[in-house]
Each structure stands twice: as structure tokens, then as C-alpha cells.
Amino acid sequence: MSNEKRVAVITGGASGIGRETSLIFAKKGDRVIVADYNEAGGKETVALIEKNGGEAAFIQVDVSNYESVEALVEQTVLQYGRIDVMFNNAGIGLPTPVAALDWDAYHRVIDVNQHGVAYGIIAASKKMRELGIKGVIINTASVFGFLASAGSFAYHATKGAVIMMSKSAALELAQYDIRVVAVAPGVVDTPIIQGYKDLGMADEMAHKVMGGKLTQPEAVAKTVYLVSLEEAEAINGSVVMADQGYASFK
């Protein structure tokens, strides 16, 4: 990598893990593209970065639409000249018991959580190859890509897919010096968890992790940053657990 500052694109940057990851990358000196459909939240993240002396810009994106994701990558390169890190993090939950599953909600979760990651992998890897950049693509998976939980039928399907897409893409892109890694959080205190709180499931989940508390988004963000570094170059095609032991204790 050259001495030029890295450029990191972070989807879902308006809140939760995405916001905290944006803040950490910027704090460490990277230039950050905060990408989200939520314009107000995304711009608020940019303002927080700039307040702390970092460099960032907001680009609105609909990750469920490939053209929108491709435009995000193109606009990033137009603005900063490169793309070193693509963090495909945007996601939704919409927890519903399987017997009462709403098909529109099901397809919405698939479109955002699964297709959105696929689009990010494809668009970013094409641009990294074109620019000859030794980049890294990081995807938000979940312990629920391995473990079952009530009310999460569609969510489980998407996170299992993210894990296997990450492994498959890593296998193909290694020849171009592009790494692909999945980070699997456990039960994180983000807007997604609110639905589980409403169903009375969040407290039960929290009791199964170290300390008995929901993981804070900043803890996951720190893991994402560490995975992005050149020092982590041996980590490729892996699922890095950021779950405070949830998968082990369950």
C-alpha cells in the first residue's frame, strides 16, 4: 500500500455498528465514506467525524439495488481516487415468527442483508482490481449465521449466506491481493435489537454472553478495524467472531 491515506466505504453508517466503525476509521486517519439510505443519520455521522478532526463524506445508497451500490463505489473513487476498504454492514432485522411471516418483510430482509452484501462485494472488487489496489472487503455476518433463534427465519438465511459468500469471494479474489472477511457479532445494542426487545427476547440473549450485557457497537467496530489492517493479512475467507462468547455459551 502507498503512503496515501486509505479510503474506507462503510454502509449502514448512519447508526449502530456502521457509525462506530466510521468514527474509528476516521480517528485512525482513514478517509471515510459514510453510506446509508438514511441521509440525516449519515450526515450526522459525518459531522461527528469532522468535529473530531477526521475526514468524511456522506453518499446516499440503497444497498438492495446494484446500480446504487455501483454508483457508491464510483462516486467514492471520483471523490478520493481510491477504495481500500469496503465494509458491507447495512442490515435490517424485522423479527417475525415463521408461521406469521410476511412475504414483503421476508424479501426486504433478503434484499438488504444478502443481496446488499453481494452487490458490495462485486462492485468493490471490480474497482479494486481495476485500480490495482490490495484491498479488503469486510462483511457483517452474525452468530445467527450459525445458531438458530426464534423469530429470525429470514435473518438467519441472510447471515448464513453472508458467511458463504465471504468464503467463496475470498477464494476467487486472493489472486488479486483482495481479502474478504466476515465479522460475526453476537447480540449488539443497535436499532436492530429493538424488535427483539419488543418480543421480550433481548434480555434472555444478553444473559448468554460475557458480562451478561448486550455488546456495544464500538466493540464490534474495533474488531472490524483490526481486520482491515495489513497486519491482519493472514485473515482471509475467515469468520471473525465478535460475539463476547455468545456462540460458545449458548
Catalytic sites, residue numbers:
155
- Identify the H or E element spanning 161: helix 153-173
CA distances from 244 to 34, 133, 247, 250 (A): 27, 33, 8, 11
Contacts of 138 (CB under 8 A, 6+ apart): 85, 86, 87, 88, 89, 180, 181, 182, 183, 224, 227, 228
What's the sign of the alpha-carbon dihedral 15, 75, 110, 140? Answer: negative
| Distance of alpha carbon 190 from alpha carbon 74, whole angstroms | 29
Smallest CA-to-CA distance from 163 within 140, 192, 185 is with 140
| Distance of alpha carbon 159 from alpha carbon 152, whole angstroms | 10
| Distance of alpha carbon 240 from alpha carbon 86, whole angstroms | 16
Dihedral-angle region of residue 69 (phi above 0 means left; psi in -120 to 50 means alpha; beta otherwise):
alpha
Cell matching residue 6: 486509505
Smallest CA-to-CA distance from 139 within 66, 206, 236, 47 is with 236
